[in-house]
Amino acid sequence: MSKQLIFGLFLLLSLGLFTYTLFRLASFFRLTRKGFKVDRIGERITTTLLVAFGQTKILRKPVIGLMHALVYWGFMVITIGSLEMMIDGLAETERIFGSWGILYDFITASGDIFAAIIILSCFAFLARRHLMKVKRFSGVEMTTKSNMDATAALTMILILMFSLIGMNTGYLVNHRDDIVGSYPISSLLTGLVSVESAHMIQETNWWIHIVLIFVFLNILPYSKHFHIIMSIPNVFLTDLKPMTQMNNMASVTKEVKLMMDPNTAFAAPAEDAPPPERFGVKDIEDITWKNYTDSLTCTECGRCTSVCPANITGKLLSPRKIMIDTRKRMNDRGPGLSKDPNFDDGKSLVGDYITAEELWACTTCNACVQECPVNIDQVSLIMDMRRNLVMEESNAPKELVQMFTNIENNGSPWQFSPDDRMKWAEGLSLRT
């Protein structure tokens, strides 16, 4: 069986599995509610260029941020080489982009250098995770599976980069008289490879690299490293309203307008009228498509939790956990709900996954939103969960309950009669 046929079959299998995963995710998105309108395209493109491609928020931490950014930029360059390998595998060619001339020299040289940078960075990331015990890598939401996921991904990236350099080194020795491209790092290693073994080393590393790419591609959607794919679209879909502006609830706005309309204020609802929507978020069918996109994009880096004033002062709230639990709840209930709209496993996102104590600890300062390197909005989801607690379950801290009572009775948050509001000014003389 030829290399071309084997590669073609493996490519079809990999793309078939990835397509299945995409349809599975699409079925989950269909369970969510509508979100904001995607407009202001120019502003979104600018934001994407700065935050996603420019890595501006990652670079707030100069040293480790630069390492992450270099890994990201390196993958973008190396992806071009991966595309070339796929074409070569299907067409039985070798270095098919070689006709690009000096541009190809730049791409291959950059890829070779970035491969070495990524190897060094991955070793540094592994050391930070397992030896330095960085605080933001810990937490109740960071299970053994989460840490194993990170270690496995870094290990696969290391193998990808070593195989790339191994493939380039074998190619240089095997094609000494007709080399296409430039390979500054791999050329330093050619003395370690004999002419007799060069072809085998090149082919072996080619297969390791391309097979691992497809394996990695199909593992990504089931791990936190799905952000490699999701970060760019999530940044593009950033809610561009002012960060501290809370969204009005469309269902409540509609009811208020009906109450204010004298023609409908006292009218009975139509017999065929649909049941009213749930207020706020109780379970995953209540979240918006953007909430779910945020949960899929979460890198579990912990930058949000590390700046959360509630978490810093020892409260249960962890913005990272809110995203992880949302994603986990969709994975747990989504398959059943996709098949049966009435599917109920007796659990809910608020209550069984996220507690009221966590939600009420949030100060809505938006530090987590500001810090997130991929523009996740944790606060809007927390606020919608709070709304459900208050409006559906009458579950609020006693201080808020007292305030609600005062607003209902006195028209203000304070426990004073409206007739007494100006007593504080009695005996004061005002000069004009």
Decide: 109 and 183 in contact? Cβ < 8 Å: yes
Residue 372 in 3-state DSSP?
coil
| Residue 42 pLDDT | 95
| pLDDT tens per residue, range 303-330 | 999 999 999 999 999 999 999 999 999 9
Q: What is the pTM of this model?
A: 0.89
* Boundaries of every domain in the chain: 3-236, 250-258+277-410
* Exposure of 184 in the CB half-sphere (CA atoms within 13 A): 11
CA distance 238 to 268: 40
CA distance 351 to 286: 14
Q: What percent of the chain has pLDDT over 90?
A: 64
| Residue 409 pLDDT | 86
Decide: 163 and 209 in contact? Cβ < 8 Å: yes
- Sign of the CA dihedral running 408, 411, 412, 415: negative
DSSP 8-state symbol, 33: B
Class of residue 297 by CB neighbours under 10 A (exposed 0-12, middle 13-18, buried 19+) = buried
User: Is residue 272 predicted with pLDDT exceeding 80?
Assistant: no
Q: Which of 18, 3, 4 is nearest to 215 (CA)?
A: 18
Angle at 205 between CA 199 and CA 207, to 5 degrees: 105
Q: In which region does residue 262 sit, left (phi positive, over 0), alpha (psi from -120 to 50) or beta (all else)?
A: alpha
> What Rg value do the Cα atoms of the chain yield, rounded?
28
| Residue 346 pLDDT | 92
Residue 64 makes CB contacts below 8 A (sequence gap 6+) with 128
Decide: 309 and 285 in contact? Cβ < 8 Å: no
User: Is residue 143 predicted with pLDDT exceeding 90?
Assistant: no
User: Is residue 86 predicted with pLDDT exceeding 80?
Assistant: yes
CA distance 336 to 370: 35
pLDDT average, residue stretch 119-145:
89
| Residue 255 pLDDT | 75
Determine the number of helices (DSSP H) and then strands (DSSP E) in the chain. Answer: 16, 0
What CATH code would you report for 250-258+277-410?
A: 1.10.1060
| Residue 426 pLDDT | 82
| pLDDT tens per residue, range 164-217 | 999 999 999 998 888 999 999 999 999 998 999 999 999 999 999 999 999 999
| pLDDT tens per residue, range 358-393 | 999 999 999 999 999 999 999 999 999 999 999 999
| Residue 178 pLDDT | 87
Angle at 391 between CA 291 and CA 406, to 5 degrees: 130
| pLDDT tens per residue, range 58-85 | 999 889 999 999 999 999 999 999 999 9
